[in-house]
Amino acid sequence: MTGTEIRATATLTVIASLRLLGLFLILPVFAVHAQQLPGGSNTTLVGLALGIYAATQALLQIPFGAASDRWGRKPVIVAGLLLFALGSFVAAAADSLWMTIVGRALQGGGAISAAVSAFIADSTRDEHRTKAMAALGMSIGLVFALSLVAAPPLYALIGMGGLFALTGVLALVGIPVVLWLVPPAPPRPTGLAADRAHWRQVVLAPELLRLNFGILALHAVQMALFIVVPVMMIERGLPLPQHGWVYLPVVFASFLFMLPPLIAAERRARMRPVMLGSIALLALVHAGLGWFSPGLALLVVWLLLFFTAFNLLEACLPSLVSRRAPAHAKGLALGVYNTTQAVGLFVGGALGGLVARHGGAGGVFLLGALTMAAWLVVAWRMQELPRRPAGPDAAAPSA
């Protein structure tokens, strides 16, 4: 990778990580804190406060992505960070659950994931893009694991209002990073075709549909899985405050296991078998969890396999979307992609909770195995991208 590619990837990853760190710090402690607020005994409202963020994300990812195609990545990212910070400060000042819901909805309005991913795609050559997307995905996984460890002591120290305020401050810190540290984006296609962005071409393209179905399925099974896994760990003798010390080393180790196949697939233009193998591994993990009813040690092994396949697919999918999309509509394509991701989180949470209520953990694992089997069928006919030239003859993004 060139210096410009490394700088763009690193700075944009920092922006995404700062924003998501604030979000993830809320998740492990909010349900407990909500009981202290008026209306906090209503679990439906508590769930709404947590889920409204994903709902507004799903509504706005496509408009934000398309806007970044038209007006540029940096202005859209800065606007999204400002809106996210506003929502954080509203939630920090909230004295009721309804006001917290308003703040969370505003946070979700800062839907910049598509613009950030498109910016990384703009700034990296095809042969290096999956590595750049992997860096972004790994940072998200790391931030998630760190938040599970850090959230309880931070909540005890500064309270929920302090956590929301910290979230807003982290978003504001990202703005000077965008303006002064992120390299300028390479020139984007101009003219009538770029302005119209070919919505239908992007939304209905078969290869993009396969990838969008994949991210929906992937995050649906992730959300459903973690409805039952924490309870399983508690039942096997691991108290909730210690769960982060399982997730953190598991996520770290999964990064080490995912990198060799990812790099080999990029070098040899053999992404299809790696993706199909990862999907099959996820199906196997769900079947194993349901069939063997594992003890704590085996449960940790299954989690390691899950995160290895999950993180590998998280790196592959946005890279493939950016390479399949028309050059002038990467933001739009990644907006559709991030929208289906948010829908997957919502569907996985709602459907997983319903299945867990009536079918227990075994029902959730069966649902996950069947979902991965369906994705395997959909992905089976995916086309391999041709190998791109690397080295001096390959065009590098302009600085």
What are 339-395's pLDDT values in tens digits?
888 888 778 877 887 788 788 888 989 999 999 999 999 999 888 776 655 443 344
Q: Write down the pLDDT at residue 325.
A: 77
Q: Write down the pLDDT at residue 301.
A: 93
For residue range 254-264, list pLDDT tens digits in order.
Answer: 888 988 888 88
Q: Write down the pLDDT at residue 128.
A: 79
Q: Are 24 and 75 in contact (CB under 8 A)?
A: no
CA–CA gap between residue 163 and residue 141 (Å, rounded)? 20
Among 174-178, 190-194, 281-285, 331-335, the minimum mean pLDDT is found in: 190-194
CA–CA gap between residue 140 and residue 388 (Å, rounded)? 28
Nearest to 80 by CA among 165, 14, 174, 161: 174
What percentage of the chain has pLDDT greater than the value 70? 90
| Residue 95: φ, ψ to 5° | -115, 10
Mean pLDDT of 10-33: 79
Q: Write down the pLDDT at residue 191.
A: 46
Q: Write down the pLDDT at residue 188.
A: 62
Helix 97-109 and helix 73-92: axis angle, to 10°? Answer: 170
Nearest to 161 by CA among 93, 110, 209: 93
Q: Write down the pLDDT at residue 203.
A: 75
Higher-scoring residue by pLDDT: 59, 385: 59
Q: Write down the pLDDT at residue 156.
A: 82
Q: Write down the pLDDT at residue 43.
A: 60
Mean pLDDT of 31-53: 72
Q: Write down the pLDDT at residue 47.
A: 66
Q: How far apart are the first and last CA of the chain?
A: 13
CB neighbour list of residue 351: distance below 8 Å, 6 or more residues apart: 220, 224, 367
Across 93-102, 208-217, 346-355, the highest mean pLDDT is recorded for 208-217
Computed over every residue of the chain, the mean pLDDT equals 82
CA–CA gap between residue 338 and residue 344 (Å, rounded)? 10
Measure the CA angle with vertex 65, ends 26 and 53; round to 5°.
25
Q: Tokens at residue 299, please?
A: 């449960």
Provide the pLDDT confidence category of residue 189 given band limits of 50, 70 and 90: low
- Judged against a pLDDT cut of 70, whether residue 23 lies above it is answered with yes
Q: How far is CA 267 from CA 128, 136, 184, 207, in A?
A: 9, 19, 27, 21
CA–CA gap between residue 332 and residue 311 (Å, rounded)? 23
Mean pLDDT of 290-295: 81
- Judged against a pLDDT cut of 50, whether residue 25 lies above it is answered with yes
CB neighbour list of residue 34: distance below 8 Å, 6 or more residues apart: 40, 45, 46, 49, 97, 100
Q: Write down the pLDDT at residue 386.
A: 64
Q: How far is CA 315 from CA 20, 163, 210, 258, in A?
A: 17, 29, 16, 10
Q: Write down the pLDDT at residue 226.
A: 76
Among 36-50, 161-175, 217-231, the minimum mean pLDDT is found in: 36-50
CA–CA gap between residue 200 and residue 220 (Å, rounded)? 25
Among 49-53, 79-83, 152-156, 313-317, the minimum mean pLDDT is found in: 49-53
Q: Are 300 and 244 in contact (CB under 8 A)?
A: no
- Judged against a pLDDT cut of 70, whether residue 31 lies above it is answered with no
